[in-house]
Amino acid sequence: MTQQGYVAYLSGKWIPRSELKVDVSDRGFRVGDTVFDVTRTFNGKSFMLKEHVDRLYRSMKYARIDVGMSAQEMTDVTEDALKRNQHMLKQAGDFFIWHAITRGPGRWAHSAGPATVIIEVGTNPWAWFADFYKPGAHAVIARTRSYSPQMVDPKIKHHSRMNFNLAELEAGDIDPKGWPVLTDTSGNLTEGVGYNLFLVSNGVIRTPGDSDILQGVSRMAVFKVAKQLGLTVSEEALQPYDLYTADEAFFSSTPFSVLPVTKVDKRAIGDGKPGPITQQLLAAWSEQVGVDIVDQAERFVKQHRTDATFGR
C-alpha cells in the first residue's frame, strides 16, 4: 500500500481502495442486504461520528445484522481509517467516510454470514452539489413513493433503493438538474434520495416528522444550529402545497450540510433565490466547524468535477 491512493477497510483487512470489491454472491449485492452510514470530515476531523455510528448500529439492530464488533470498536477503526488516509486530505479538501455492513453470503437471512464490513474513505463528493449553493437546487416531486415502514422502515439506512433510482429518473424527466423529493403513499412529503427536506414559511422552519424518513444527522444539526440562532423548527406533516407556497426551502445532508432549493416542479420558491434563513444556517454552521462550507466546495469542485464518485 503506497501513499498514492486511498486505503480501505474490508472485514478486518486494510486494502487499497481500488481492490474494494464484493463477490456477487454476497447478499449485499444479491438482495440489497446492506446497511450503511456516511460521515464527513471538516478540516479532516470527523463530524458527529458518534451519531452516525449510533444510527448505523440501530440500522443493524433493526435488520438483525451481526457485525461482530462493538460501536466503540467501529469508532476506533474509523478514526484509524482517517489516519491511514491523512495523506490524501490536502487533495480531497475533506473526506467522506462510508460504513457499509452486508449480511454476507447465504441463501436465507437467518443463517447468513459472516457480515462483510466495509469502511471507505474518499473525497467528499463536491461535484454532486457544489454548483448549487449559489443558484439553488431544483426540486422535483417524484411520482414514485417512499417505502412504508411496513416494508422496510425508512429510518434505517440501507442499500435497497430501487425506488430512489426511479425517483431520480423521474426528476430528470422534468428538470435535467432535478433533485427528487419523494412522498409517502398518503401524499405527504418525506425526503430526497440521501437528503432531508426543509422549508420556511412565515419565518418558521418546517420539516416532515421523523417517522417515515431517515433521521438525518445533518437534519439534527440543522435543529441545533437553528436553536442557537433563535429560529423555530416545526416537525409536521407537509404536502406539496406547502413546498409550492413556501418562502424558502433547503436540503440537508452530510456531504453538503445545507443546500438552498429555489425551484420545485419548475416553479420558483419564494422569489427564486436562496433564502435568508437558509443563508443564515449555512453561515452559522460554517462558523461552528471552522470551514466556509460554500467556499470550500466551490474551490475543490474544480479539481474533482471529472472525478465522479457516488458518496453521499
Interacting positions 268-307 with its own copies (CB under 8 A): none
- Residue from 84, 159, 224, 273 touching its own copies (CB under 8 A): that is 159
Which residues in 182-241 contact its own copies (CB under 8 A)? 185-188, 209, 211, 236-241
Task: Confirm or reject binding of residue 29 to its own copies (CB under 8 A).
Answer: yes
- Residue from 6, 7, 27, 217 touching its own copies (CB under 8 A): that is 27
The answer to whether residues 301 and 59 touch, using CB atoms and an 8 Å cutoff, is: no
**Dihedral (C-alpha) 298, 302, 304, 310: value to the nearest 10 degrees?**
50
* Angle at alpha carbon of residue 230, lines to 224 and 232, rounded to 5°: 75
Q: Which residues in 260-298 are b (16+ Cβ under 10 Å) and which e?
A: bbbbbbeeebbeebbbebbbebbbbbbeebebebbebbe
CA-closest candidate to residue 98, choices 19, 10, 210: 10
What residues have CB less than 8 Å from 189, skipping those under 6 apart?
141, 181, 182, 183, 197, 208, 238, 239, 240, 242, 243
In the complex, minimum distance from the CB of residue 34 to its own copies, in angstroms, rounded to a whole number: 8
- Residue from 31, 71, 220, 283 touching its own copies (CB under 8 A): that is 31
Task: Confirm or reject binding of residue 22 to its own copies (CB under 8 A).
Answer: yes
In the complex, minimum distance from the CB of residue 19 to its own copies, in angstroms, rounded to a whole number: 9
- Residue from 6, 47, 96, 147 touching its own copies (CB under 8 A): that is 147
The answer to whether residues 63 and 158 touch, using CB atoms and an 8 Å cutoff, is: yes
Task: Confirm or reject binding of residue 25 to its own copies (CB under 8 A).
Answer: yes
Cell output for 155 = 429510518
Alpha-carbon span 184 to 8, nearest angstrom: 36
- Residue from 11, 160, 279, 303 touching its own copies (CB under 8 A): that is 160
Q: Which residue lies nearer to its own copies by CB, 80 or 170? A: 170
Alpha-carbon span 109 to 118, nearest angstrom: 19
Which residues in 109-138 contact its own copies (CB under 8 A)? 109-111, 118, 120, 125, 127-128
- Residue from 43, 70, 86, 165 touching its own copies (CB under 8 A): that is 165
In the complex, minimum distance from the CB of residue 141 to its own copies, in angstroms, rounded to a whole number: 7
Which residues in 47-86 contact its own copies (CB under 8 A)? 58, 61-64
- Residue from 6, 7, 9, 34 touching its own copies (CB under 8 A): that is 34
The answer to whether residues 129 and 98 touch, using CB atoms and an 8 Å cutoff, is: no
Pairing between strand 233-235 and 204-207?
A: parallel
Q: Which residue lies nearer to its own copies by CB, 23 or 295? A: 23
Q: Which residue lies nearer to its own copies by CB, 151 or 229? A: 151
In the complex, minimum distance from the CB of residue 122 to its own copies, in angstroms, rounded to a whole number: 9
